[in-house]
Amino acid sequence: MPNNSPRPDSPPQPDSPPQPNFARISSALTDLSQELPHIANLPSQQRLLEQILKELTAIKDDVAGIKGEVTTINNRLAHTQNDILTINNRLAHTQNDILTINNRLLYSETRAKNDRIRTTNAHRLATDQVDANLSPLLDLRTGHPIANCPTTVVDLNGLTGGEAGVILEALDIELPQTAAHKKEQAHDAAFDPDELAAARRWRETFKITNIPSGSTTYARSSGPGGQHVNKTESKAITSWSVSELIANLPRLLHGALRSSKYYTVRNDSLSIQAQTQRTRTANAEENRQKLFEELCNIYRDTVPNESSPDKAKKYEALEKRANENRVKTKKQQASKKSFRKGGGSHDY
């Protein structure tokens, strides 16, 4: 058997070359043939993408335009709301002016009616000085008959100084200096002690911060401020209903509220306006200050200063004697009427 093993001194045999992978080459060529149509269509796809980008840009511009229009609409709405607020404030101001005019008309009409009533009463007294029935006078602030106004001569003669003062105030007649002085020097005995004490305690603690906020509207002012007053509603008109104020005042002051110079009959409130300041806040605060001063004046005119025990006793004695004289006068008048009707003679 021949020995085919190489000889030790013979050179090594070279490796055989790698065989090509025809299957892989064929697969790559197939993939390339499939991609060639796509590569050929790249320009058209690029144009399509550019068209899409243009449309997206147009949509973006449209959205920006719509956003701008929405902003414009919102600004117009805000401007319209400001115009509506201005109109409402002007309407409120006009209503207050109308109320003022109505109050003045009521005052003038009531004065004319009182003149006619006084003329009628004078004719009745000229006809029958004792039995004449007098028509009650009207309150200039309300146009209604004055409460407890005397309707007979007997009642008229029996009026106390305080009752006569109330009627004179309702008729807006200024009291003479002597009568006003007596009113200021009125004694505690003429008032309910508990109500008088409550009123004095209220005055000791009453501050402007105790005043309720009320209802404030604003209008364009004609006061100082230059062009500022033509651009903003700085005039303040504040109203406080009587019911709102009564809740914060002692009972002795309740009746005097409707006699205030700021009282308006139509809405039963105290209405105050201010336009001297540049800002609406300052004018509204000025209204509160005016109301504070008015309430202090009402207290001063209504509640007397504390009197000494001697003065109180003297006042009680005077009141007692006045009541006795009034009762005596009524009895005398009743006796006269009875005598005229045939009841016989009477000695006094």
What burial class does residue 343 get, using C-beta atoms within 10 Å of its C-beta: 0-12 exposed, 13-18 middle, 19+ buried?
Answer: exposed
Classified as helix, coil or strand, 12 is: coil
- 218: β partners: 236
Q: What angle do CA 123, 124, 128 make, to 5 degrees?
A: 120
Per-residue CA distances from 225 to 23, 156, 194 (Å): 98, 56, 50
Residue type, 285: E
For the chain, domains (ranges, CATH) are: 192-303 (3.30.160.20)
Residue 127 token pair = 């006809």
pLDDT at 180: 42
What burial class does residue 274 get, using C-beta atoms within 10 Å of its C-beta: 0-12 exposed, 13-18 middle, 19+ buried?
Answer: buried
Distance CA 32, CA 14 (A): 37
pLDDT at 238: 94
Distance of CA 331 to the CA centre of its chain: 54
Position 241 pLDDT exceeds 60:
yes
HSE value, Cβ hemisphere, 13 Å, CA-based, for 52: 6
Residue 301: name the closest of 252, 265, 262, 263 by CA. 252
Position 186 pLDDT exceeds 60:
no
Q: For residues 150 and 20, which has the higher predicted lDDT (pLDDT)? A: 150
Q: 184 pLDDT band (50/70/90 cuts)?
A: very low
Query: Tens digit of pLDDT for each residue in 15-32?
Result: 556 666 667 777 777 776
pLDDT at 210: 92
Q: What is the pTM for the complete model shown?
A: 0.41
Pick from 8-22, 36-50, 136-150, 156-170 the range whose average pLDDT is largest: 136-150
Residue 322 token pair = 């006045």
Average pLDDT over residues 273-298: 91
Residue 253 token pair = 């002051």
Position 314 pLDDT exceeds 80:
no
Report the chain's terminal Cα–Cα distance, integer Å: 193
Q: Where are the alpha helices (DSSP H) in the chain?
A: 22-40, 42-127, 153-157, 161-170, 177-184, 193-205, 228-231, 242-246, 254-257, 280-302, 309-338
Distance CA 348, CA 346 (A): 7
Q: 290 pLDDT band (50/70/90 cuts)?
A: very high
Per-residue CA distances from 32 to 28, 38, 99, 309 (Å): 6, 10, 97, 127
Asked whether the beta carbons of 171 and 140 are under 8 A apart, the reply is yes
Pick from 13-17, 123-127, 168-172 the range whose average pLDDT is largest: 123-127
- 217: β partners: 237
Average pLDDT over residues 171-199: 61
pLDDT at 266: 79
Average pLDDT over residues 136-157: 76
Asked whether the beta carbons of 287 and 273 are under 8 A apart, the reply is yes
Position 209 pLDDT exceeds 70:
yes
Q: 348 pLDDT band (50/70/90 cuts)?
A: very low
Q: 134 pLDDT band (50/70/90 cuts)?
A: confident
Position 251 pLDDT exceeds 80:
yes
Residue 78 token pair = 């805000």
Per-residue CA distances from 235 to 189, 208, 276 (Å): 46, 21, 8
Distance CA 230, CA 239 (A): 24
Edge-to-edge strand list for the sheet holding 263-264 = 215-219, 235-241, 269-274, 263-264
Q: 185 pLDDT band (50/70/90 cuts)?
A: very low
Average pLDDT over residues 125-148: 76
Residue 218: name the closest of 80, 98, 86, 78 by CA. 86
